[in-house]
């Protein structure tokens, strides 16, 4: 057991820290027009800089544009980004879901075609899994893909797709055998979002922002070469994607929580509009410390999972526990921020602290226990696959 960096890791960390100090505009987050919200223009610019600096695809193979480093380096990268309060790469679905799935089951042509461009940010991916009638029960999905010569013809509707409004590609789960049901007869497609017949309609979230979308598919032709994995074997491919989503996202989620905790501490030390300083209130102090403990617990659980991953090669289902705990900690944190501000917590926009950062963050956090597996589904996964309890259905 040793939590120190190896000499190589220490050099990598120092290089990255120096690079961030030079390249990251010190006030980038304060300059944003909508504090705390996703800024596409800046994210594109930043992603290009990250790629030019050699900080993308750290653990991906060199021949696909990566650096071929152990996953530990991705952990260091995310830690340093949190410390510097650096923005995210523009393509999280490509990096954490589409990319690892293509790496695992893709053809050489698919790997060559997509992986380097995911890293550069030239190809942004969105996810087409959920449907209006298929939420947690993903296997009930009905979007059809019918074989027609060298193509599949796609008809149907997907929903809750983040980034679809800017995405170039979609990882799309379809039913390719019309008489099939449940987990059989599904096919996983890589779909070009510029194809004729694709229509993206924004959905407004409770924050007021349109951060996710519906996608409608009308006779969209997808070349058979864009099937990922086997025709009819889409369920297994989708599970690979979700395993990676919940397995490797732990570090990224911890970074989000760390950035928010730093802001929470700054808020606590600020005299609020009603003249109180939350840092002087013992009840607030107790809860802030509790959140710091949550953060460290998640961080070191990620490390422990990473140690196991480096030995076994595949992320285990334990990632579900990290996502479950993170989402609830994030909700506690943002609600505490609003509570701390007292009457000031009633404000949003220009009159609120930092332009309404907490107002947005608190409402947005309610989505955390729904997206990427609801907390109910995650608890069921833990019960059945980690704890070996009998199935509930």
- Residue 324 found at the interface with other proteins (CB under 8 A): yes
- Residue 350 found at the interface with other proteins (CB under 8 A): no
Q: Are strands 186-192 and 151-162 parallel, antiparallel or unpaired?
A: unpaired
Among residue numbers 12 through 71, which ones bind other proteins (CB under 8 A)?
none
- Residue 382 found at the interface with other proteins (CB under 8 A): yes
- Residue 316 found at the interface with other proteins (CB under 8 A): no
Q: Which of 10, 238, 196 is nearest to 105 (CA)?
A: 238
Q: How many residues does the chain have?
A: 393
From the list 27, 286, 313, 350, which residue makes contact with other proteins (rule: CB under 8 A)?
A: 286
- Residue 2 found at the interface with other proteins (CB under 8 A): yes
From the list 257, 288, 333, 361, which residue makes contact with other proteins (rule: CB under 8 A)?
A: 288
296 Cβ contact list (under 8 Å, min separation 6): none
Q: Which stretch binds other proteins (CB under 8 A): 17-25, 221-229, 249-257, 282-290?
A: 282-290
Tokens 């790469």, located at residue: 89
Q: Which of 48, 43, 7 is nearest to 28 (CA)?
A: 43
- Residue 258 found at the interface with other proteins (CB under 8 A): no
Q: Which stretch binds other proteins (CB under 8 A): 135-143, 196-204, 250-258, 321-329?
A: 321-329
Size of the residue set binding other proteins (CB under 8 A): 50
Which C-beta is closer to other proteins: that of 53 or that of 70? 70
Nearest distance in Å: CB 21, other proteins = 22
Which C-beta is closer to other proteins: that of 75 or that of 100? 75
Nearest distance in Å: CB 3, other proteins = 6
Q: Which of 96, 3, 89 is nearest to 44 (CA)?
A: 89
Q: Determine contact, residues 247/309, Cβ cutoff 8 Å.
A: yes
Catalytic position from the list 245, 328, 371, 376: 245
DSSP sequence for 249-264 = HHHHHHHHHHHHHHHH
Q: Are strands 151-162 and 212-223 parallel, antiparallel or unpaired?
A: antiparallel
Q: Determine contact, residues 175/185, Cβ cutoff 8 Å.
A: yes
* Binding map of other proteins across residues 359-378, x = CB under 8 A, - = no contact: -----------------x-x
From the list 93, 141, 306, 340, which residue makes contact with other proteins (rule: CB under 8 A)?
A: 306
Three-class SS state of 306: helix
Whole-angstrom distance, CA of residue 359 vs CA of residue 349: 8
Residue 155 forms beta bridges with which residues? 144
Nearest distance in Å: CB 139, other proteins = 19
- Residue 321 found at the interface with other proteins (CB under 8 A): yes
Distance between start and end Cα atoms, the chain: 41
Three-class SS state of 128: strand
Q: Determine contact, residues 150/224, Cβ cutoff 8 Å.
A: yes
- Residue 325 found at the interface with other proteins (CB under 8 A): yes
376 annotated active-site: no
Residues identified as active-site: 245
* Residues of the shown chain interacting with other proteins in the complex, contacts defined by CB under 8 A: 1-6, 9, 72, 75, 265, 268-269, 279, 282, 285-286, 288-290, 292-294, 296-298, 300-301, 303-304, 306-307, 311, 318, 321, 324-325, 376, 378-380, 382-384, 386-392
């Amino acid at each position: 057991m040793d939590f120190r960096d190896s000499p190589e890791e220490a050099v990598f960390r120092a290089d990255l820290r120096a690079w961030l100090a030079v390249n990251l505009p010190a006030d980038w987050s304060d300059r944003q027009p909508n504090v705390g919200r996703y800024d596409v223009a800046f994210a594109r610019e930043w992603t290009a800089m990250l790629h030019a600096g050699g900080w993308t695809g750290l653990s991906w193979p060199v021949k696909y544009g990566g650096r071929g480093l152990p996953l530990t380096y991705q952990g260091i990268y995310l830690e340093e980004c949190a410390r510097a309060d650096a923005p995210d790469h523009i393509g999280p679905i490509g990096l954490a879901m589409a990319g690892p799935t293509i790496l695992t089951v893709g053809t050489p042509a698919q790997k060559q075609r997509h992986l380097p461009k995911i890293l550069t940010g030239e190809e942004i991916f969105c996810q087409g899994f959920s449907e209006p009638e298929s939420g947690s029960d993903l296997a009930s999905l009905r979007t059809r893909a019918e074989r027609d010569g060298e193509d599949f013809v796609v008809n149907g509707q997907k929903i809750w797709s983040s980034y679809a409004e800017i995405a170039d590609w979609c990882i799309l789960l379809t039913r390719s055998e019309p008489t099939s049901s449940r987990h059989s007869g599904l096919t996983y497609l890589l779909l070009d979002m510029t194809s004729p017949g694709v229509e993206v309609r924004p959905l407004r979230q409770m924050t007021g922002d349109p951060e996710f979308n519906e996608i409608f598919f009308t006779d969209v032709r997808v070349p058979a070469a864009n099937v990922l994995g086997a025709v009819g074997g889409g369920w297994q491919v989708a599970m690979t994607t979700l395993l990676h989503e919940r397995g490797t996202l732990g570090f990224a989620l911890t970074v989000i929580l760390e950035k928010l905790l730093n802001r929470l501490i700054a808020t606590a030390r600020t005299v609020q509009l009603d003249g109180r300083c939350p840092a002087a209130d013992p009840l607030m102090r107790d809860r802030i410390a509790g959140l710091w403990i949550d953060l460290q617990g998640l961080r070191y659980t990620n490390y422990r999972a990473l140690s196991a991953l480096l030995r076994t090669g595949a992320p285990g289902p334990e990632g579900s526990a990290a996502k479950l705990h993170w989402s609830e900690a994030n909700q506690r944190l943002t609600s505490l921020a609003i509570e701390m501000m007292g009457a000031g917590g009633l404000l949003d926009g220009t009159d609120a602290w930092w332009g309404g950062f907490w107002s947005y963050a608190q409402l947005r956090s309610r989505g955390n226990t729904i997206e990427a597996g609801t907390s109910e589904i995650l608890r069921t996964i833990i019960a059945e696959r980690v704890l070996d309890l009998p199935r509930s259905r």
